[in-house]
Structure 1
Amino acid sequence: MPDDLDTLERRIDLLRTRVRAAVRDRDLALARELRGELRKSERAWDLRVSSPPEPETAGQRGRTGPPVRERVHAALTLLQVPAAGRLVVGVHEAFFAEPLKGSQLSTLRRDEERTFRRSPYGRPHYVCAALTDRLTPARGLLAVSTWPQERRVVGPLSPRVDFLRSTMRVATRVGELDEPSEKAWRLLARMARNVPGAGGGFERPEPAVVVRAAEAELAVHLVADTRDRAELAGRAGRQLDEAAKLFGATTLSEIARKAACA
């Protein structure tokens, strides 16, 4: 499974880059075609990670499923935005077979950083930190190293923008499943209650309605948030080394020192 997932993730990242380029070049026909390919690849990824683990064989005794970092990575890849541990656990419980507990996330980011510093880019991806406007690690927010820097920084509007985007992703996933779990419905209902016009009362929310409501509010904030994140990403590219781009600068003096040397 890991090799297949890595291949799909690389294809998804490449397609996103090509979609952005097509939109920038105003080639709308190519952008539509690429978005179709992107959706197919994302659905294939979702199905791959949602598949039950293969039966245990004699040589596999004692294995308990994918490592915690891969479970967190699966949940974050579904969300496509930085997320707090509570949401990561909720998403994993709603859509994936293996268990995941909040206590298992307590040292994950630090472990990933140590691994990266020992052997930079030795893995296809790392669970890393979202970065604040000071380019320090955002408390409790996890991200994926293969995401563009713009998605791994958070400005003033980013928490709301990312919540709306994650709500849309959860609603879309629920709508794609033939029989969503009760945990999936509860997660969607909790998120929908915080989106005007999305429902989420005592009855199950309609996924398509949730997506439309979240999209409507997202349009209000998106331009300003995109601008803020582009500025932060530019600063990160100029002022941080490779490890700090993923895990954040430890102190403001570290940023100032590296900026002076640039």
Structure 2
Amino acid sequence: MSDRLDDLERRIDTLRAGVRRAMRARDSATARTLRAELRTAERAWDSLVSSDTADPTPGTHDEPAPARSARLVTVREQVHQALAMLGAPAQARLVVAVSDAFFHGTLRSPQLTSLRRDEERSFKGSPYNRPYYLCAALTDRLSPARGLLAVSTWPVERRMVGPLSPRVDFLTCATRVAEEVGRLPFPFPEAVRLLARMSRNIPGATGADLGPPDPGRVIDAAGTELRVHAGRDTRDRAELAERAASQLNDVARLFGAATLSTIMNREQDTDVRTGARTTRGSR
């Protein structure tokens, strides 16, 4: 428990310093992103403190202490916390793994299934009413990329998915995970296992032995490959971002444009419901 609190306190200090630097540079977009991450980290700290100090006497409350403390950090906040650390769009299974490995998370993959749809409904009801939204990465058709979650405060380019983007995003995420593991004096076993799994998919990231991965080696290997792909991927994302800015409204820029198949499915569903009502009315 104390190790996790120490790690969160260091992250909070780092985020606060980042907010101050962004404000001095008048970089309001970065400041907003860092402030949202700071609030999430502070809630995680509160959750751990509450869990550690909760009354352990059975029967004194209506529900167990762990259940009460877990609610202090919502599913939405836990997902944002993990994505903010990764810095790139990610699949639900990676978000869950990062939350568990670094933030004492309670996420399960099924909880993320409808999250993006809930965020879209919230945005449509009250646009920009929240400091951030959990939204979609966008494909070259400007439609939502299947299963990929992103954060609305990221630059649009970061949420685009070009031909090389899946590999670039994986390398970016692996670098972030390695950096976090390297900062921890005693990394959690879950974090070491996650880094080991990711490093196996990066040439040169693992040694001949079967010991724990070296975070510095993973960072270097990922950086070497990133330098090969980054230029082309940056250009592809910039082109897609320009298309999104010119062709999409606010909702679609965050959650993607409906594809032709989606529209056809909706029309077919409408026809089925209308036909059913007509049939009943003709009897």
CA distance in 2, matches of 1:238, 1:185: 43
Aligned match for 1:51, one of 32, 42, 45: 45
CA-based RMSD: 3.6
Does residue 1:155 correspond to 2:171, yes or no? no
TM-score, length-scaled by structure 2 = 0.72
Would you say the 8 A contact 1:137–1:248 is kept in 2? yes
Structure 1 counterpart of 2:116, which letter?
R
CA distance in 1, matches of 2:35, 2:113: 31
Structure 2 counterpart of 1:189, which letter?
A
> Which residue of 1 is the match for residue 151 of structure 2?
144
Distance 1:145 1:70, change over 3 A: same
Does residue 1:126 correspond to 2:133, yes or no? yes
Structure 1 counterpart of 2:193, which letter?
R
CA distance in 1, matches of 2:147, 2:20: 26
TM-score, length-scaled by structure 1 = 0.78
CA distance in 2, matches of 1:41, 1:116: 20
CA distance in 2, matches of 1:151, 1:142: 12
Identical amino acids, percent of aligned pairs: 52
Q: Name the count of aligned residue pairs.
A: 232
> Which residue of 2 is the match for residue 205 of structure 1?
213
Q: CA deviation at 1:97?
A: 1.5
Give runs of ≥4 in structure 1 deviating > 2 Å.
7-15, 40-52, 60-65, 251-254
CA distance in 2, matches of 1:232, 1:136: 11
Deviations 1:155-178 (A, max 9, x none): 000000000010000000000011
Q: CA deviation at 1:43?
A: 10
Q: CA deviation at 1:251?
A: 2.4
Matched ranges for 1:50-129 at <5 A: 51=45, 53=47, 54-55=49-50, 56=54, 62=68, 64-129=71-136
Larger radius of gyration: 2
Q: Give 3-state SS (helix, strand or coil) of 1:51's partner.
A: helix
Aligned match for 1:222, one of 230, 250, 259: 230
Would you say the 8 A contact 1:12–1:42 is kept in 2? no
Q: CA deviation at 1:12?
A: 8.7
Name structure 1 gaps, 5 residues minimum: 20-33, 255-262
Matched ranges for 1:189-200 at <5 A: 189-199=196-206
> Which residue of 2 is the match for residue 187 of structure 1?
194
Distance 1:44 1:124, change over 3 A: closer
CA distance in 2, matches of 1:162, 1:144: 14
